[in-house]
Amino acid sequence: MSTKRPYHHGDLPTALVQAAVELLEEEGGATALSLRAAARRAGVSTAAPYRHFPDRNALLSAVAAVGYQELGAALLAASPAPSTPDDVADIAVAYVRFALQRPGMFGAMFSEGCDAGNPDRVAAVTAIHDYLGSIAKLVAPAADQQSMATAMWALVHGLAFLHLDGKLDASSPAEVDNRVRSAVAAALER
């Protein structure tokens, strides 16, 4: 005899975010992501996500927050206490590698409309910005720190998208690493 168990998912918001991340990585971009698709992937009704995410952008914001947290962890792992130009290059390489290894997530983080007020996303972006600011002090102590942090972010972000868009050779990790290290070295030369 079969008995029906009452519906209880547990941590549905986390399950929906994980489902959305999986969809982004499988599909290669956010165009295929919807609340309905995330619900199907999480194994819940298509109405269930609306209890936690009022719209697609709210779900994308939660996904972006996870992405920024993972990116921040990757940058810190590359160089927890940067003190040399080689450390800066290691961080740049980690940034571009993250983009190439997680293109769907990276696209959602930077190419999609997100809720600018999402507290988790704001905290994660702030942590990355503060980390870049600390690197800017090392690289150019006499420069305006905010401007230098922005310039550094723009450099690695541009390299990431140039590789993702096929404008730079991404055929091997060694080729990517060499290109990124060369660009960082050129930018740091005075």
Q: What is the DSSP string of 133-155?
A: HHHHHHH-TTS-HHHHHHHHHHH
Q: How far apart are CA 125 and CA 177, in angstroms?
A: 24
CB 109 within 8 A of CB 71: yes
pLDDT at 99: 95
What is the length of the chain?
Answer: 190
Residue 5 has pLDDT above 50, yes or no: no
Residue 154 has pLDDT above 90, yes or no: yes
Place of tokens 């709210």: 58
- Residues 44-64 have pLDDT tens digits of 988 888 889 988 888 988 898
- Residues 99-140 have pLDDT tens digits of 999 998 898 888 666 667 778 878 888 888 888 888 888 878
Report helix angle 85-101 to 119-139, nearest 10: 150
Q: Which option is the CATH number for 12-188: 2.40.50.140, 2.60.40.10, 1.10.1740.10, 1.10.357.10?
A: 1.10.357.10
Query: What predicted TM-score, i.e. pTM, was given to this entire model?
Result: 0.86
More confident position, 81 or 94: 94
Q: How far apart are the first and last CA of the chain?
A: 78
